[in-house]
Amino acid sequence: MSIKKDSQTEGLSKGLTQYGDTGFSLFLRKAFIKGAGYSDSALDRPVIGIADTGSAYNPCHGNAPQLIQAVERGVMLAGGLPMVFPTMSIHESFTKPNSMFLRNLMSMDTEELLRAQPMDAVVLIGGCDKTVPAQLMGAASAGLPTVQLITGSMLTGSHRGERVGACTDCRRYWGKFRAEEIDQAEVQEVNTQLVASVGTCSVMGTASTMACIAEALGLTVPGGASPPAVTADRIRVAEESGRIAVEIAKKGLSIDKILTEKSFENAMRVLLAIGGSTHTPVLLDLKPSSQFYMEDFHHAAGMATLLRELKPLLHLDALTITGHTLGEWIEASGPGFQQNVVKSRANPIYKEGGIAVLRGNLAPGGAIIKQSAASASLMEHEGRAVVFENLQDMALRIDSEDLDVTANDILILKHIGPKGAAMPEAGYMPIPKKLAKAGCKDIVRISDGRMSGTAFGTIVLHVTPESALGGPLAYVQNGDRIRLSVANRELSLLISDQELARRQAAQPVKVPTAERGYQKLFLERVLQADKGADFDFLMPPPKNIIPKFE
């Protein structure tokens, strides 16, 4: 890198720190980086940032060091300069109150580091549930050429001859323990088998879903979604990600050229086909909707097989980071082979697909149900409300022998929406112990929170507006009748408008606030579930607004 070079748009000369003297800024930057032993010829290459989300608190990213090594190799083989930098890392089970609370912070962290540091392209290493959405939200705003590298799924384990994996089986075994079908010794034994290696959950939960969506968007290298974390295939995907990053840096193939209306429609088709709506059948035979695990999907050639089956429904001219269209990539992946993980459209797992949006006076802004993981017998159901006012209330009473509940009732949990509790995955309420012991396996549950993508049951989520903002959910009382009709996409509280208005007037809402820090920012600026629980100020600005710091 020459100090005289005045191009401030590429390599290490990009985005100079402002001292009021650009020559000095570059001189100083070069002095510091040379302190780390870099040569001039290294510094003259395209700079590829590698966002490292490895953390001792995130076993889903436990292979990050190996992936980084492989990405660096790919970058250098292609003539680029790899620069690894840390960002936040969020694991589902290690963040309080929950990972969703921190997703927007990670997105802002990613966006600002991509803007602030000099790089011509970036490889984002992510995997655990909120990390890939956070990274892509940030990268979309930063606008660089971007490659998403998925950490990959964990291996499955074995418990007393049965194949098990997180986290559908975690919930299933915990349910058995609560129902006293297995004892303390067995639940401890299975605990050591559910997560058999580093990597993300092995079923079609949020992490695997986001991996498939990233590939469908065209933001991973071909085949980047499915290789398990500890396989040679995953390492090769990492090396290829580094190579492609240099290529897209040279071509200036920025993320806005990949994230188009067509690529989003393709991603939505894939979401529906993997367990996720209404016009696209569910084709993928993975837990929690069905039986297999991510490693089986990979053995069935992963996304190539799924995309080939979905071909007539996709925009084949959507561009991917390879520089080729999705259609060209599907062609290049070959003719396919006999396998039983991805079903044909003529013979789907579910004709209707996975996710349905419900509306009605209980959810004027909408609610969702993952119907592919629900009980067919409960999808048309009317029942009596059994109300829990918040998480603490539920924890105190759900296992009480005195709880007035039957399997035909509908459990209501309030105040777990974005402002109520940062949307924890508590929508998967446990079956009340006395019902579980009596053999009840499912009951209709309704809340303004979320559930893990690995969970199953007839569970209505994301009720909008949330109860903490005074949505109708806040005014449901014990004994009210509620009607759920998935066929009619209906969620209704069977009381009159006058009665609802009377209850609202009698009990004005008090929107939660915080005194300081990120929690204050979150509570003041988070949007509702139907807007992705993003921050209002992260929405794109009107076109005529000029950024303050350029």
Binding region for ligand FES (CB under 6 A):
60, 91-93, 128-129, 166-167, 200-201, 205, 207
Q: How far apart are CA 234 and CA 257, in angstroms?
A: 26
Listed in sequence order, the residues at least 6 apart from 338 whose beta carbon sits closer than 8 Å to its beta carbon are: none
Determine the straight-line distance between the first and last CA of the chain, rounded to whole angstroms. Answer: 23
**Shortest distance, position 504 Cβ to ligand FES, whole Å:** 38
How far apart are the C-alpha atoms of 168 and 165, rounded to whole Å? 7
Which residue, 200 or 305, has its beta carbon nearer to ligand FES?
Answer: 200
CA distance 454 to 159: 19
- Segment holding 357, helix H or strand E: strand 355-360
User: Would you say 152 or 418 has its CB closer to ligand FES?
Assistant: 152
> Measured from the CB atom, is 129 or 240 closer to ligand FES?
129
**How many angstroms separate the CA atoms of 500 and 507, rounded?**
11
Q: Cβ of residue 242: shortest distance to ligand FES, in angstroms?
A: 23
Nearest approach in angstroms of CB 459 to ligand FES is 18
User: How far is the C-alpha of 470 from the C-alpha of 474, rounded, in Å?
Assistant: 6
Q: Are 446 and 440 in contact (CB under 8 A)?
A: no
CA distances from 293 to 27, 205, 306, 325, 491 (A): 53, 10, 15, 28, 32
Indicate the residue among 370 and 415 with the shorter CB distance to ligand FES: 370
Q: Please report, as a single letter, which amino acid is at residue 95.
A: T
Q: How far is the CB of 430 from ligand FES (least distance, A)?
A: 19
**107: CB partners within 8 A, 6+ apart:** 133, 134, 135, 137, 138, 538
Q: How far is the CB of 126 from ligand FES (least distance, A)?
A: 10
Nearest approach in angstroms of CB 192 to ligand FES is 16
Residues in Cβ contact with 413 at an 8 Å cutoff, skipping those fewer than 6 apart: 388, 390, 391, 394, 426, 427, 429, 445, 446, 447, 449
CB of 454 vs ligand FES, minimal distance in Å: 7
**Distance of closest approach, residue 125 Cβ to ligand FES, in angstroms:** 14
Q: Please say which residue, 118 or 127, places its beta carbon nearer to ligand FES.
A: 127
- Looking up tokens 């040569």 gives 39
Nearer to ligand FES, 90 or 216 (CB): 90
Between 204 and 326, CB nearer to ligand FES: 204
Q: Closer to ligand FES by CB, 92 or 466: give it.
A: 92
Q: CA separation (Å) from 43 to 3, 64, 81, 116? A: 11, 25, 7, 18
